[in-house]
A and B are shown apart, each in its own frame.
Chain A
Amino acid sequence: MEDIRKIISEAKEKIKNANVSSLENIKTEYLGKNGALTQILKSLSSYSIEDKKRIGSQANNAKSAIETEIESKKEDLKKSFLDEKMRSERLDYSKSFYFPFSKGSFHPIIQTIQDISGVFKSLGFAVGEGSEIETEKYNFEALNIPESHPARDTHDTFYLEGLKTLLRTHTSPGQIHAMEKNKPPIKVIVPGKVYRNEASDATHFSTFHQVEGLAVDENITFVDLKTMLADFIHKFFGSDIDIRFRPSHFQFTEPSVEVDMRCIFCKGKGCRLCKSSGWIEILGCGMVHPNVLKAVNYDSEKYTGYAFGLGVERITMFKYGIDDIRLFYENDLRFLKQF
């Protein structure tokens, strides 16, 4: 008995200090054919039956205890060997990593439309789409811009040869389509491409994008308009942005508003981008003109609404500090890859 206990403690001590090669020797020393425990088991025949059973089971227990001990030591040794090896393996993180393709990019204009749509979607607006080829009726007349009105001067229009159609000069025809196709309550935005027949320069290009918005229902007021647009600007540009509502004129809204935000570059002190005014014009809006509601056979006594339109290029130029609108349409990878 004493022997077995002694053997176990002696073996454990040896295992504790063993290395990979001595561990094999220890195994042989205790568990091998001539090992100490094997010897004890072999000598059992000389004992009484009770003793045989008792000593036998003790010896077997000791055997498996040592085996377990050896196995776990083996695992430890393997682990410390790998840890040791790992310490010697060092790769230079600063050498180039590789992915089969270079980085792609999304066009900043499309991305801005996506972001704007995302905010309006979160404000409960549906997203619609309109045609780029339009008629006089939708682009002008239904929007209270009769042919003789000087407001047409601000819409240099591309007309299509041989057809009574034109390229829409704003996304506002979307208002008319939305009201014709749906019944109030309406809450929709219409993003898309628009065209103006004017010479191109750093801030003008024949093709650009707008996002139109329209809400029509009973009891929609000027307060709702201001609340919603303030909400949009704060969500899109940041909650600390100062905004200003300024009276203006659009044929299809009354009252009409232009919304400015405090210049994000100079914080209102006045700089080149805001033309020293400290304010940047961000969008135009207003309450839907009764003549527009009448044009789609809505009861302008019962229904009121607001409409707004924002210029995507303008917003994107301010957002990224881009000073020439034509860069958006050149598609030079040195420009595109920055987004």
Chain B
Amino acid sequence: MKISYNLLKKFVDFELSPKDLASLLTSIGIEASVISQGYDWANVVTAKVLDVQKHPSANKLSLCKVSDGAKEYSIVCGAKNIASGQTVPLAKIGAVLPGNFEIKKPKIRGVESEGMICSEKELGLKEESQGIFVLDDKTKIGLPLEDVLDGIDSILEIEITTNRGDCLSHLGIAREIGAKLRKFVSIAKVKVLKKLPLLNGIEIESNLCKRYIGSVISNVKVGPSPKWLTDILAKSAIRSVNNIVDITNFVMIELGQPLHAFDLNKISSKNIVVREANESEKITALDAKEYKLEPGMLVISDKQKPIAIAGVMGGEFSGVDEKTEKIFLESAIFDADSVRKTSKKLNLSSDSSYRFERGLGWDITELALWRAANLITEIAGGKQESIEDLHTVKYEKTKVSLRIGRVSKILGYSVEENEISEILKFLGIDLQPKDEVIVCTIPSWRNDIKIEVDLIEEIARIKGYDAIPTLKTHTDYSYTPNNSYLTVIVEEFRTKLNDLGFSETLNCSFLEINELEKFGLKYYYKIANPISKENEVLRSSLLPGLFKNLMLNISQCAETVTLFEHGKVFDNIGEKKVFAAIMYGKVWHEWWKWTQQKVNHSFDFYFGGGIINNILPSQEFMIVENLAPSSYFHIGKSASLFFRGKVVGQFGILKPSLTTDIKDEVFYFEMDLDPVENMCVKKNNFYKAYSKFPVVKRDISVTADKFLQFAKIEKVIKNVMKSGGILKEYSLFSVYNDESKLGEGKVSYSFRLSYKNDDKTLSDKEVNNDVSVLLNKLDSQLGVKLRQ
């Protein structure tokens, strides 16, 4: 909302500059900033030009003697229109002009200037101006410039929190200033006539209308508004229509009460009914659009049809125009919730509905009507014929009890009872102290004050939050960043993957349906009211997001893309936490010491799986055969992750049909975090003494059927390890599959076996025996033979 600084001054007397006023308002909870600066001219005074000489070393400059009555200044001036005898604005050294332009003491072509004679542009009064600003000859000298200029105003942009509908006017803001500065607010006196019933009457048929005041003014002359009126409306960004409409708008920004004027001659039988709309009733509003109404929406109607949507917008048909002679002026209170619902449903809001939604003060309604009627008869002529005031409720002011002791109980610091009373009094609250309790009668406009703590807030707010003391730090802990937001396992994953060059990502939780369907994924939660297609459904997997990130980075020429993410996904079971990683491209970058072969290695099933195997925080995790691969995996290149009897994740290569646009395979891993969330990452195995005797190594190569699952060979080796006790480790160091040399359908595996005895040095014979035992078992159980 835009507020005029000058108009505020008509309600309350204060001595603050616009900037200081904005700070004051901000400090009491009304965020304000100066958007159009009338003036901020400390150190700019009126002065007389005594003498003008040519500058000794510059043709276009003059050297002037200027006096502010107390002192003479020598000033260098470049304006052509300067002449002795003129009264001019002088910015003295130290003055700061708009645009943060500070007046210093420069030497201009060798001559010092003790200030600057200003143009209107330099003062921020006009966008463009020619020469210096010459003031009226009769202007007194030595006065601050702002004191001699009329009609200069500053505009403040103000943000009002949703609870403070009472501040949506100049009067409302003035009340706040008054409360802070302990000053009373004065409202222009209005001429009040005796209330006379309307000829054809007003009928209120719905309780959604709380109060309705109507008045008929006849013989008005509709025409353009006077300049002062259009000026003030312009400052509040309201378009001028005609004098009648402008006055209703002016009273709204002045006092906060939305008003509406109807052309009475356009109202059939000149009868006003306030009622709920009928099924499928329609109205064309002042914005020239047609709105379909329904029961629950309050309308103002004549005998036949609606003439206004109550509190939201008037009808086009019944509006005031140049031909209007007789008007019906409305000032009313409509139910806030009803106006809000109507405005939402019709998707139509206005300055009026904005104020009704936030609630209006009972007393202002009448004041505003008189104020507008006075202005109309004054500006547009005419005579106020009749006025009628109806209500459906009996209004009573709210009373709230304040226990003095409760103030410090909530705030933690004590406020003197005198100060409490003073603050509340200047907020317009009537006080009846009784023992330790003050019974507070809340003014009609403060519908936000309902309970005791609301009063306590008022006290703290007006006293100022700066006045709240802080205790000496109540903790002695020194700050050490501590990871506590993420679970232990996520923290383990992310640190390990970070070490391996992965980047953590964050994706939006929404997707388009086809982004999921592309991967054969389903959606389980659809957004009922998305504002764009991007927000259609909630993700059921992290894959679509990570895949999108992958493709983006590939398009930006990234050779390696390794990303991970953790977050919520939403599937048939509900909301669950998952962890996922995607890997693509070169494992290693080129390096001058690497061979070409090493450089060209890219992420594949075994490499990706190796990384997953490496980051698993406990031996309780097992990589097993993937019996039910997700729809997006390559059916032959995936595995699943097993934890305490359950599959918790899967990894593998994405289906080739998903990655046709890119060169390499894409490795993806996703696991559920919920089943492992509370697991302890620290291993509780006891320490085992290690053997001090040397290790004996043996390499063996065996030939196996190529379809024999490798895990079966491993199982035989592990059994030998268990029974014999001297085979401690094995590793697969080579796989050879040249069937022309090995025989059709064969593959060869080379193992490195490590033997050790905990108590003594092993002899060759013992090791050889154990190797034979292993080979025999491989042969007898699996037909795996030593390679010849």
Contact B457 A255 (CB under 8 A): yes
| A213-259 CB contacts (< 8 Å) to partner B | 219, 221-224, 226-228, 230-231, 235, 244-249, 251, 254-257
Contact B475 A132 (CB under 8 A): no
B347 within 8 A of A: no
B295 within 8 A of A: no
Q: Contacting A122 at CB < 8 Å: which of B482, B498, B525?
A: B482
Contact B527 A159 (CB under 8 A): yes
A182 within 8 A of B: no
A84 within 8 A of B: no
Contact A122 B474 (CB under 8 A): no
B358 within 8 A of A: yes
Contact A150 B591 (CB under 8 A): no
Mask: chain B, 449-483; 1 = CB below 8 Å from A; 0 = not: 00101101100110001101111011101111111
Q: Contacting A98 at CB < 8 Å: which of B26, B454, B593?
A: B593
Contact A162 B526 (CB under 8 A): yes
Contact A118 B482 (CB under 8 A): yes
Q: How far is the CA of A118 from the CA of B304 in the complex (A)?
A: 68
Query: Hey, which chain B residues are within 8 Å of A104, CB to CB?
Result: 497-504, 562
The residue on B at minimum CB distance from A249 is B161
Q: How far is the CA of A157 from the CA of B164 in the complex (A)?
A: 23
Contact A329 B412 (CB under 8 A): no
Mask: chain A, 22-65; 1 = CB below 8 Å from B; 0 = not: 00000000000000000000000000000000000000000000
B491 to chain A, nearest CB (A): 9
The residue on B at minimum CB distance from A124 is B475
Q: How far is the CA of A134 from the CA of B13 in the complex (A)?
A: 50
Q: How far is the CA of A198 from the CA of B567 in the complex (A)?
A: 22
A19 within 8 A of B: no
A96 within 8 A of B: yes
Q: How far is the CA of A150 from the CA of B465 in the complex (A)?
A: 26
Q: How far is the CA of A276 from the CA of B28 in the complex (A)?
A: 20
Query: Hey, which chain A residues are within 8 Å of B556, CB to CB?
Result: 332-334
Q: How far is the CA of A150 from the CA of B336 in the complex (A)?
A: 9
From B267-275, B370-378, B388-396, B505-513, the one touching the partner chain is B505-513
* Contacts A223-B469, A254-B457, A255-B457; A191 near B485 (Cβ below 8 A): yes
Contact B552 A222 (CB under 8 A): no
Query: Hey, which chain A residues are within 8 Å of B532, CB to CB?
Result: 199
B225 to chain A, nearest CB (A): 31
B57 to chain A, nearest CB (A): 36
Q: How far is the CA of A159 from the CA of B529 in the complex (A)?
A: 6
B732 within 8 A of A: no
Contact B504 A105 (CB under 8 A): yes
The residue on A at minimum CB distance from B491 is A114
The residue on B at minimum CB distance from A122 is B477
Query: Hey, which chain A residues are within 8 Å of B530, CB to CB?
Result: 158, 197
Contact A133 B501 (CB under 8 A): no
| B377-403 CB contacts (< 8 Å) to partner A | none
* Contacts A121-B484, A290-B453, A328-B506; A222 near B460 (Cβ below 8 A): yes
* Contacts A223-B412, A289-B453; A206 near B508 (Cβ below 8 A): yes
B765 within 8 A of A: no
B292 within 8 A of A: no
A18 within 8 A of B: no
Query: Hey, which chain B residues are within 8 Å of A160, CB to CB?
Result: 525-528, 538
* Contacts A121-B484, A249-B162; A331 near B549 (Cβ below 8 A): yes
Q: Contacting B535 at CB < 8 Å: which of A151, A153, A197?
A: A197
Contact A193 B568 (CB under 8 A): yes
Query: Hey, which chain B residues are within 8 Å of A199, CB to CB?
Result: 531-532
Q: How far is the CA of A102 from the CA of B468 in the complex (A)?
A: 51
A203 within 8 A of B: no
Contact A207 B508 (CB under 8 A): yes
Contact A195 B468 (CB under 8 A): no
Contact A118 B504 (CB under 8 A): no
Q: How far is the CA of A251 from the CA of B461 in the complex (A)?
A: 16
Contact B358 A114 (CB under 8 A): no
Q: Contacting B480 at CB < 8 Å: which of A118, A124, A245, A255?
A: A118
Q: How far is the CA of A332 from the CA of B563 in the complex (A)?
A: 10
A11 within 8 A of B: no
Q: How far is the CA of A117 from the CA of B480 in the complex (A)?
A: 11
B29 within 8 A of A: yes
Query: Hey, which chain A residues are within 8 Å of B413, CB to CB?
Result: 221-223
Q: Contacting A198 at CB < 8 Å: which of B336, B340, B531, B589?
A: B531
Q: Contacting B506 at CB < 8 Å: which of A163, A195, A256, A331?
A: A331
Query: Hey, which chain A residues are within 8 Å of B161, CB to CB?
Result: 248-249
Query: Hey, which chain B residues are within 8 Å of A319, CB to CB?
Result: none
Contact B560 A102 (CB under 8 A): yes
A15 to chain B, nearest CB (A): 39
Contact A150 B358 (CB under 8 A): yes
Query: Hey, which chain A residues are within 8 Å of B471, CB to CB?
Result: 223-224, 227
Contact B498 A105 (CB under 8 A): yes
A307 within 8 A of B: no
Contact B570 A222 (CB under 8 A): no
Q: How far is the CA of A101 from the CA of B587 in the complex (A)?
A: 7
The residue on B at minimum CB distance from A334 is B556
Q: How far is the CA of A168 from the CA of B338 in the complex (A)?
A: 26
Contact B510 A114 (CB under 8 A): no
Contact B481 A118 (CB under 8 A): yes
A82 to chain B, nearest CB (A): 25
Closest 9 CB pairs of A and B: A221-B412, A247-B29, A223-B412, A101-B501, A249-B161, A255-B457, A104-B498, A245-B465, A118-B481
Which residues from chain B sit less than 8 Å from chain A, CB to CB? 26-29, 31, 33, 161-164, 336-337, 340-341, 357-358, 408-413, 451, 453-454, 456-457, 460-461, 465-466, 468-471, 473-475, 477-486, 494, 497-510, 525-532, 534-535, 538, 545, 549, 552-553, 556, 558, 560-563, 567-568, 570, 574-575, 587-589, 591-593
Which residues from chain A sit less than 8 Å from chain B, CB to CB? 95-96, 98, 100-107, 109-110, 113-115, 117-119, 121-124, 127, 131-133, 148-151, 153-154, 156-163, 167, 191, 193, 195, 197-199, 205-207, 219, 221-224, 226-228, 230-231, 235, 244-249, 251, 254-257, 275-277, 287, 289-290, 304, 328-334, 336-337
Known: A104-B501, A206-B508. 9 other contacts (CB 8 A): A98-B591, A102-B501, A104-B497, A104-B504, A118-B482, A119-B481, A160-B527, A228-B474, A249-B164
List 13 A–B pairs whose Cβ atoms lie within 8 Å, in order of A's numbering. Answer: A101-B562, A102-B501, A104-B562, A117-B485, A132-B575, A160-B526, A160-B528, A206-B535, A221-B410, A246-B29, A246-B31, A254-B454, A290-B453
